[in-house]
Structure 1
């Protein structure tokens, strides 16, 4: 997977269709660690985020190549740039190698290291095995595991809300909060999610109520920002492997494949998990750096402000007129993301 580093910051133009019935539209395509970002070439506004491991070519044998973010996706992207086409092919090859060619992902040197770690970890330090395995999972495979975890979560919550205008607005909000490079993909599920959560591969799931019951996007933006901090505080692969168990973790380390059975029920486990506590100073610093007021998020967490008093008191933008995070029409579209 280290070979994919040469494609970081790769950009090109492309022709995007939102649905097969729509006309093609020019977009700017950016290649990240785990996502492909499609944006408007004039305004720079993000239009869509695609998980790299999910991307498939849907017109094999024909030119120019056309790609989609999954076999059942409505969106499509026509590309002519040879470097971008090569990059997407390299990702696909890497994911297939990880799942279909045991042992080739990391090579002989890593295999020898793995065996040494396993010898100690299995007998004495199960936690060491989990941590070591998490440290060697590459970005594209993390994204693949995150998508599989999201699929398991959807068994409980239903498939993610996908109103097309709402998805565009959600992508725009993600870029506003995290910036245009390696932007996390935000999701909203129709039911069952009471608090924000995150999954491997920079996936963040927001509660529907934070969007539909709020007066503006600030609370949802703050929730995404804080969840991003939690994802950095503890590698999200670790709780997944703890759920999967040592045998599945060992299989992932030695064959680069995690069986589907190991992820069964992980979505429910994530819903039940208590959020990682973060220092108030760290949270406030992140809000200040992102230029997002902390008060709407703090009140969304605790309407009475008892448990979020420090965030309310230390809000770096308290008393200031907030600059809109996204345009008003985007916010209206985002509130209807779970509609038809």
Structure 2
């Protein structure tokens, strides 16, 4: 039994604040699918933290104080022993999966020799990638996705974190792709991104996709388009094909990818993002979520010529259900205002 399944749906109270200046507030914390889900006292989701990216700020001291890796200003204080044990179990498991510093040179040498032998005798690169994709667990995918997001943010600027906007975005994401989905949705302050799906279920939107349009159906469309990408190609496969066979074999044997591999792939995603999924893959997602396809389609091509299949097969033509309240939509559009 893995740590994730052992602690599935564990809940506890906590104290959360978004920045050093913000007042702490009482929240509920749920140990979800590779994430910590932080909700207000009425059960409305405020934010998701990727478990592999959670850092403890006061080791050995209680109440335990945690922060999302790379953002020590946002904190979560926990006193419930079971929840602390669950988080620490995952952190220890991830630490064991990384090579020890004192053995790094030996491990690197052995890995290189093993990689050469394996590549020359047993494996074709494609087969090795497929074997690695099968072996990598969701926790490791989440860790890779969070690290990749960090490299993307170095190029675009840090994710938009206005507090009320984050709550509205979390509720919007729950409405579209379901409560408890792995990963979460992040808005970056750059037009270099439209929408991306990273390993571990992280969906990335560019600021113009949220701010630059009046119709929430358009933003919803880009979220669903990102959610459709793994049906065409596993996002981790794209990482490994960029990484090359030696780095792939290193992930397979040690559970580790070199930071330079992720930095290079982050640049590739910005310069050459994945093509949108075909209409036959996207249409069922739009229909299930109750989102019309036309706003998204025309945002991709104003003429409509290259997206005619999405426009003509619009599952909600003439029907515009409420996707988000006007107040929440205005709040979401201000997510980058802080």
TM-score w.r.t. structure 2 length? 0.88
140-149 or 20-29, larger mean C-alpha shift: 20-29
Give how far 1:296 is off: 1.6
- What is the RMSD computed on CA atoms of the aligned residues? 2.5
Whole-angstrom distance in 1 between the partners of 2:189 and 2:33: 28
Cα distance, 1:120–1:67 mapped onto 2, change above 3 Å: same
Partner of 1:336: 334
- Output aligned runs, 1:139-288, within 5 Å: 139-288=138-287
Partner of 2:39: 39
Whole-angstrom distance in 1 between the partners of 2:162 and 2:37: 18
Partner of 1:110: none
Whole-angstrom distance in 1 between the partners of 2:120 and 2:6: 34
* 1:12 is the counterpart of 2:12: yes
Deviation string 1:296-331 (CA, Å, 9 cap, x unpaired) is 2112122222122222222222212321x2232222
Whole-angstrom distance in 2 between the partners of 1:71 and 1:301: 33
Give how far 1:278 is off: 3.0
Contact residue 225 and residue 276 of structure 2 kept, 8 A: no
Matched position secondary structure for 1:13: strand
Partner of 2:111: none
In structure 1, stretches of 5+ residues that fail to align are 103-114
Deviation string 1:82-102 (CA, Å, 9 cap, x unpaired) is 322121111111211122359
* 1:25 is the counterpart of 2:21: no
Q: How many corresponding residue pairs?
A: 326
Cα distance, 1:304–1:58 mapped onto 2, change above 3 Å: same
Deviation string 1:28-56 (CA, Å, 9 cap, x unpaired) is 222222211111231x3211111111112
Contact residue 3 and residue 86 of structure 2 kept, 8 A: no
Give how far 1:269 is off: 0.6
Matched position secondary structure for 1:264: helix
150-159 or 85-94, larger mean C-alpha shift: 150-159
Cα distance, 1:148–1:184 mapped onto 2, change above 3 Å: closer
Matched position secondary structure for 2:98: helix
* 1:327 is the counterpart of 2:304: no
Give how far 1:288 is off: 1.3
In structure 2, stretches of 5+ residues that fail to align are 102-113
Matched position secondary structure for 1:133: helix
TM-score w.r.t. structure 1 length? 0.87
Cα distance, 1:96–1:265 mapped onto 2, change above 3 Å: same
- Output aligned runs, 1:45-56, within 5 Å: 45-56=44-55
Contact residue 182 and residue 202 of structure 2 kept, 8 A: no
Cα distance, 1:52–1:279 mapped onto 2, change above 3 Å: same
Partner of 2:89: 90
